[in-house]
Amino acid sequence: MPGNLEVLPSDVVLTYILWDEVEVNGNLTDLWRLLPQIVPSGNGFFQYNYDFTQYDVEVFMNGTVNLSTLDNSWTRNQVLRVVVVPADFLNGRVAPVDYSNYEEVIKAFDIDDSNVLKLSAN
């Protein structure tokens, strides 16, 4: 996690992958999917998944196919967004939130994603 971001053990971390661009009302818009995401491939599958602690987030791939044979479009330059949802926001929520919907999550928790931090992979 960036040094200035405090994540408590009770907080929830959600990770989304930029899956596609789709046209909505005549405008191209990003389509985000919550991890994990399973992708059929040949005679098997692979998936994007993640785990987290209060100190870091790790995104990884696994599956039944040889990952080294995948096209670079699946393994390079993926765009991810990590959303930290403080436990305080989760307690006492009246309206349910569809956590698989990135747009709904940022709206429900009043997140301004115009200042998204760009981090390099380690």
Q: What is the pLDDT of residues 59-82, one digit of tens each?
A: 999 999 999 999 999 999 899 999
Q: Where are the domains of the chain?
A: 12-115
Structure tokens at 61: 């791939």
Q: What is the pLDDT of residues 34-64, one digit of tens each?
A: 999 999 998 899 999 999 998 889 999 999 9
Helices (DSSP H) in the chain: which residue ranges? Answer: 72-75, 87-90, 102-108
Task: Assess whether pLDDT exceeds 60 at residue 111.
Answer: yes
Number of other CB atoms surrounding residue 48 within 10 Å: 22
